[in-house]
Amino acid sequence: MRKVLIVFVLILLCVLSQAFCIDRMGFGADVASVQDIFLGHGSFQIDLDLRTMVSDEFQIRIPMALTMNQASFLFESGVALVYYPWHTGPFMGLSVFQFGFSKGSGNLENVISLNEVTVGWSFEFGPGLFIEPSIVIRDPSGTFSDEYSRIKGEFPCYTTFRARLLFGWYFWR
C-alpha cells in the first residue's frame, strides 16, 4: 500500500509539473529529528516533504510525517501552500488540508484532522541543494485542540511548536 501511495504521489507531481510548466521539483528531509532522541521524550518524529514550485512566489508541498513510540505510530500527510514574498529566503506555509492516520493507540481515532503553519528561511547552495530552518506551529487557531491533546498524550515529542531543519534537493530543475 505504501509503495502504491508513493508512486501515486510522484506521478501526481509529474503531471502537475507538466500541466503548469513547473521547472522545479524536489524533496526535503528533517534532520532536526535527532532532537527527539537527545531529549528523551520516549517518542520520535521524522518529517519529509515533496515540493514543486508553481510560480516564483508559490510552492505546493506534500508533507509526510511519521511519529512513533514503542507501541503505536501516527502517519500524517496533506497539502501545504508556501509563499516566498521575495522569491527566495523567507517563507510562510499553511496546510490546505492535513490528516493523520494512527495505529496501535487506544487514545487516538484512526483518522485525525490536523493543521499547521510554518515560518522559515530557505538557503540554496550547490546544484539544487537547500537547507531550511523553520518553526512549525501546530493548530494555531485551536480548532483541533482535542485531537492535539490526545496526540501529545500518546507522543510526548509532538509539541505545539517544533523546530525543523530540512535538508533537500531540487532534482527537477
Average pLDDT over residues 82-105: 90
Average pLDDT value over all residues in the chain: 83
Q: Report the distance separating Cα 154 and Cα 30, nearest Å.
A: 21
Let me know the angle formed at the C-alpha of 130 by 128 and 136, rounded to the nearest 5 degrees: 140
Torsion of CA 144, 30, 10, 116, to 10 degrees: 20
Q: Report DSSP letters for 78-147, one per residue.
A: EEEEEE-TTSSEEEEEEEEEEEEEEES-SSS-SEEEE-EEEEEEEEEETTTEEEEEEEEEESTT-TTHHH
CA distance 61 to 78: 8
pTM: 0.82
pLDDT higher than threshold 80 for residue 38: no
| Cβ–Cβ < 8 Å for 59, 84 | yes
Q: In angstroms, what CA-CA distances link 90 with 27, 114, 123, 167?
A: 18, 24, 9, 16
Q: Per-residue pLDDT tens for 115-158?
A: 899 999 999 988 889 999 999 999 888 888 888 888 888 888 78
How many Cα atoms occupy the beta-carbon half-sphere of 53 within 13 Å?
A: 17
Q: What is the pLDDT of residues 50-63, one digit of tens each?
A: 898 888 899 999 99
Instruction: Identify which of 63, 75, 77, 72 has the alpha carbon closest to the alpha carbon of residue 43.
Output: 72
